């Protein structure tokens, strides 16, 4: 009897918190993507019945077969918008499964500093992908795939770095922990189109075309196996190791690690150098070169007071093929 | 008959007492003071305790602290208990139980620690022997899995920020304040000769664990005091698309570690009180002392004095004096 009472006392706290924070799975709906624009937020919710696959019987209604549903809330504040969402739908919205955060181009052009608090909170996971679209609402509505029932997997496949060459994914963790980031731009026709906006201290400083993003990924060493045109022929190219960067005074020497045909060498190094020169002109530290100089300083104060001007740096590139 | 701790249990008990803070906001406090190379501060914070042990360790093996010192240690441990209960309850509330009033979470924690410590050293020692290796092995494994998201360059410049160190550094010297319990340990050990090896093993393991978690927190580039740092690190783990969102599973393990920490501190607080005042069995004191620790005013009243009291805990072992048993 004594043992039974002890066991009950030990186990009971596990259930007690539900007095206040109890949430039935039935009462919840999960937000999979959020679109942010000036004065409004679009929440894309998962439709559990469609995810479970019960809709197969209605295969004729293709539009309804997809597992996401969008609701737009007109509100400046994200948290207030999330609260208002609950009054628009019959369930309680949960943000813990957000996989994608889409910013409108207008918002991105004004800077995304205000979103740091939202993205660093407990609600949004560090692995959530960030992107920019002309109109987030239209963009989210355009997302549909007959291949995936599970929206989380759909977003993972669509936005991860592994499947794309002209698009570099950005997660909430990267956005928060880096000074200069490249936020990808997506087209309203659906999926990810490539290209991106470079943000410095969360403010936009320059735009990159899809081809420039391609070279940026070569420089960073995270380009998956892709195709590249050189000398009128198409070759395979891959870069899976980070570039080796060393400084000789004001000259940065960069060694690219590539695999594929060496005939691409000239065009690749030319494209990468052009990109570096373009970013250097605007003093944009896309490769985080300043942080490579940290070891030369003893204190944070000395490092912060160091005026690192990329415009004074020249680049020499070399490509090494496996 | 009073239960005596085996060497293994003693080591795990002390590891848990020193490292349970990793599951609170402590790694954030280290990062706030160091900004970059947190290793220097971790070493600087642990070093005084090592020096004091080298000076007084041998004496502590043979003698017990005086009654006044024991009474002050009781006051310190009770205060410390109060803070830890509130810190953990606050973190848990902020992260998961938003709608649950904080008194309820505190009540749950207090009930658990009072019950466990009232069961005595045997229960605490055996639970530590079982859970502590598991918890800290998992902790080290999780940090390793999150490693690909780390940026080692964030550890430089080597000496960090002098301004931040001056502003936030002093309070950190009290972080391994639980080292005071080493000096209460010899009488409860099965073999007093194990005392030294318990100190060196648990102290060095705790130091390494502290170092790993604090360095990881800095390298991950986080800068938030709202979420438990260890929890933030786990949220980074992502192995393909099928193995993610595993953080909540491990939160239970971390809670066990904090529970054991609270129970052990409460037990030793009661023991100190009994030894200093000659009041009977420490088991009967767990309820009143635990209630005092969970009393909310204590947190509000003494918050400004705590850093100074904690720094004093490094000095107390120096006052260990001969005591006839």
CB contact under 8 A, A303 and B157: yes
Residue-level pLDDT at A34:
93
**Mean pLDDT of all residues belonging to chain B:** 83
CA separation, residue A278 to residues A194, B5, B181 (Å): 18, 68, 61
Whole-number pLDDT of residue A163: 73
Does pLDDT of A131 surpass 70?
yes
Question: Average pLDDT, stretch A149-169?
Answer: 78
Residue contact A300–B164, C-beta within 8 A: yes
pLDDT band at A261 (very low <50, low <70, confident <90, very high): confident
- Residue A8, chain B, CB below 8 Å: the answer is no
Angstrom distance (rounded) from CA B8 to CA B20: 18
Which helix (H) or strand (E) covers residue A289, if one does?
A: helix A289-292
Question: What is the SS3 assignment for B220-237?
Answer: CCCCCCCCCHHHHHHHCC
**Most confident segment among A210-219, A301-310, B244-253:** A210-219
Nearest CA in chain A to B34: A300
Of B98, B101, B158, the CB nearest to A298: B158
Average of per-residue pLDDT across B176-201: 89
pLDDT over threshold 50, residue A295: yes
Judging by DSSP bridges, how do beta strands A28-37 and A92-94 pair with one another? Answer: parallel
The pLDDT of residue A237 is above 90: no
Tell me whether residues B222 and A177 touch, CB distance under 8 A: yes
Asked if A290 has any chain B CB less than 8 Å from its own CB, the reply is: no
Which residues 6+ apart lie within 8 Å of A39 measured at CB? A74, A75, A76
Cα–Cα distance measured from residue A84 to residue A65, given in angstroms and rounded to the nearest whole number: 27
Q: Residue A13: what pLDDT?
A: 64
CB B219 within 8 A of CB B151: yes
pLDDT above 70: percentage of residues in chain A: 88
pLDDT band for A284, please (50, 70, 90 cuts): confident
Task: Write the residue in B111, B112, B163 that is nearest to A301 by C-beta.
Answer: B163
Contact A298 B164 (CB under 8 A): no
Share of chain B above pLDDT 90, in %: 24
Q: What is the pLDDT of residue B290?
A: 83
> In 10 A of CB A150, how many CB atoms?
15
| pLDDT score for B228 | 86
Contact A280, A257 (CB under 8 A): no
- Contact assignment for A121 to B226 by CB distance below 8 Å: yes
Instruction: Take residue B301 and report the two structure tokens written for it.
Output: 């009243």
Residue A19 to residue B244, Cβ atoms within 8 A: no
Is the Cβ pair A301, B149 closer than 8 Å?
Answer: no
Q: What whole-number distance in Å separates Cα of residue B126 and Cα of residue B123?
A: 5
Distance from CA of B322 to the nearest CA of A (A): 41
- pLDDT of B309 reads 56
Q: A123-127, B30-34, B147-151, B279-283: lowest mean pLDDT where?
A: B279-283
- The string of pLDDT tens digits covering residues A10-21 is 776 666 655 666
- Asked if pLDDT for residue B265 goes beyond 90, the answer is yes
DSSP class of residue B66 equals P
Give the span between the Cα atoms of A322 and A265, in whole angstroms.
12
Average pLDDT over residues B97-121: 83
Task: Tell me the shortest Cα–Cα distance from B23 to chain A, in angstroms.
Answer: 16
What is the average pLDDT across B108-123?
87
Contact A128, B238 (CB under 8 A): no
Q: Which residue of B has its CA nearest to A152?
A: B241
Q: Per-residue confidence at B317, pLDDT binned at 50, 70, 90?
A: low
For the ranges A6-20, A59-73, A74-88, B307-321, the lowest mean pLDDT is seen at B307-321
Tell which of A27, A127, A176 to mutate to test the B interface (max B CBs under 10 Å): A127
pLDDT band for B324, please (50, 70, 90 cuts).
Answer: very low
Average pLDDT value for residue range B225-253: 80
Q: What is the mean pLDDT of chain A?
A: 82
Give the pLDDT score at A286: 84
* Surface of A (170-229) touching B: CB under 8 A: 173, 176-178
User: Counting one residue from A and one from B, how many pairs have CB atoms under 8 Å apart?
Assistant: 91
Q: Do B157 and A300 touch (CB under 8 A)?
A: yes
- Give residue-wise pLDDT tens across range B50-108: 998 888 878 877 777 888 888 888 888 888 888 888 888 888 888 888 777 777 788 88
pLDDT greater at residue B226 or residue A266? A266
Backbone angles phi, psi at B278, to 5 degrees: 75, 15
Q: Is the pLDDT reported for residue B1 higher than 60?
A: no
pLDDT tier for residue A194 given thresholds of 50, 70 and 90 = low
Q: Specify the higher pLDDT residue, B185 or B243.
A: B185
User: What is the band of B241 on the pLDDT scale with cuts at 50, 70, 90?
Assistant: low
Tokens of residue B159, six digits: 């000496």
Whole-angstrom distance, CA of residue B209 vs CA of residue B219: 15
Give the chain A residue nearest B221 (alpha carbons): A177
Tell me what the mean pLDDT of segment A170-182 comes to: 89
Q: According to the model, what pLDDT value does residue B314 have?
A: 61
CA distance to A44, A52, A143, A250, B247, per residue, from A70 (Å):
4, 19, 11, 52, 28
Q: Which residues of B touch A160 (CB under 8 A)?
A: 241
pLDDT for the residue B132: 93
Of B157, B224, B226, the CB nearest to A294: B157
Q: What band does A102 get if pLDDT is binned at 50, 70 and 90?
A: very high
Closest Cα in chain A to B236: A126
Which residues of chain A neighbour B222 with C-beta distances below 8 Å?
176-177
Is residue B298 pLDDT above 80, yes or no?
Answer: no
What value does the mean pLDDT take over residues A269-298? 86
- pLDDT level of residue A138 (50, 70, 90 thresholds): confident
Residue B263: the pLDDT is 93
Residue A88's contacts (CB-CB under 8 Å, 6 or more residues apart) are: A71, A73
CB-based contacts of B273, cutoff 8 Å, min separation 6: B70, B71, B74, B279, B282, B285, B289
**With bands split at pLDDT 50, 70 and 90, how would you rate the model's confidence at B325?**
very low
Whole-prediction pTM: 0.85
Checking DSSP bridges between strand A203-208 and strand A40-46, what pairing results, if any? unpaired
Mean pLDDT value of segment B7-20: 93
């Amino acid at each position: 009897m004594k043992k039974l009472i002890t066991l009950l006392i030990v186990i009971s706290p596990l259930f007690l918190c539900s007095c206040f924070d109890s949430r039935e799975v039935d009462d919840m709906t999960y937000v999979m993507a959020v679109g942010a624009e000036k004065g409004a937020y679009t929440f894309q919710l998962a439709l559990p019945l469609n995810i479970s696959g019960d809709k197969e019987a209605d295969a004729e209604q293709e539009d309804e077969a997809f597992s996401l549903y969008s609701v737009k809330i007109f509100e400046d504040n994200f948290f207030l918008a999330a609260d208002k969402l609950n009054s628009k739908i019959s369930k309680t919205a949960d943000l813990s499964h957000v996989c994608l955060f889409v910013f409108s181009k207008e918002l991105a052009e004004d800077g995304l500093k205000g979103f740091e608090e939202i993205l660093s909170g407990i609600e949004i996971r560090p692995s959530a992908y960030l992107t920019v679209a002309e109109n987030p609402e239209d963009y989210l509505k355009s997302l549909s795939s007959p291949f995936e029932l599970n929206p989380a997997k759909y977003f993972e496949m669509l936005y991860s770095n592994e499947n794309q060459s002209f698009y570099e994914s950005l997660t909430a963790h990267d956005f928060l922990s880096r000074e200069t980031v490249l936020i990808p731009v997506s087209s309203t026709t659906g999926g990810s189109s490539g290209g991106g906006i470079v943000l410095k201290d969360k403010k936009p400083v320059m735009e990159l075309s899809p081809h420039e993003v391609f070279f940026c990924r070569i420089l960073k060493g995270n380009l998956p196996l892709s195709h590249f045109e050189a000398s009128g022929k198409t070759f395979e190219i891959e870069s899976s190791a980070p570039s080796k960067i060393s400084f000789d005074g004001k000259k940065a020497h960069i060694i690219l690690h590539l695999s594929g045909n060496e005939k691409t060498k000239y065009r690749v190094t030319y494209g990468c150098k052009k990109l570096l020169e373009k970013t250097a002109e605007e003093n944009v530290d896309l490769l985080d070169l300043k942080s490579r100089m940290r070891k030369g300083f003893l204190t944070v104060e000395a490092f912060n007071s160091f005026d690192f001007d990329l415009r004074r740096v020249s680049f020499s590139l070399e490509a090494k093929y496996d | 008959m009073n239960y005596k701790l085996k060497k293994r249990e003693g080591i795990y008990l002390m590891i848990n007492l020193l490292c349970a803070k990793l599951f609170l906001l402590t790694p954030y406090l280290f990062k706030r003071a160091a900004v970059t190379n947190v290793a220097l501060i971790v070493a600087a914070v642990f070093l005084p305790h090592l020096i004091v042990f080298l000076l007084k360790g041998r004496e502590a093996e043979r003698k017990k602290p005086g009654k006044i010192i024991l009474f002050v240690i009781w006051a310190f441990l009770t205060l410390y208990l109060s803070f830890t209960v509130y810190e953990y309850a606050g973190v848990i509330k902020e992260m998961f139980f938003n709608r649950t009033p904080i008194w309820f979470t505190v009540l749950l924690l207090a009930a658990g620690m009072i019950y466990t410590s009232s069961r005595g050293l045997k229960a605490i020692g055996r639970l530590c022997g079982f859970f502590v290796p598991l918890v800290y092995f998992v902790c080290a494994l999780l940090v390793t899995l999150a490693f690909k998201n780390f940026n080692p360059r964030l550890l430089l410049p080597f000496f960090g920020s002098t301004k931040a160190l001056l502003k936030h550094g002093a309070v950190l010297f009290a972080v391994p304040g639980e080292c005071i319990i080493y000096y209460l340990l010899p009488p409860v050990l099965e073999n007093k000769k194990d005392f030294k090896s318990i100190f060196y093993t648990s102290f060095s393991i705790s130091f390494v664990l502290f170092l790993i978690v604090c360095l990881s927190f800095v390298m991950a580039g986080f800068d938030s005091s709202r979420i438990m740092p260890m929890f933030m690190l786990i949220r980074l783990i992502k192995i393909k698309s099928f193995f993610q969102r595993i953080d909540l599973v491990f939160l239970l393990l971390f809670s066990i570690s904090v529970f054991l920490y609270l129970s052990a501190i409460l037990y030793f607080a009661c023991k100190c009180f009994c030894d200093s005042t000659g009041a009977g069995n420490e088991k009967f004191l767990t309820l009143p002392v635990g209630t005092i620790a969970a009393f909310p005013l204590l947190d509000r009243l003494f918050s400004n004095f705590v850093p100074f009291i904690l720094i004093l805990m490094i000095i107390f072992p120096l006052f260990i004096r001969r005591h006839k048993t």
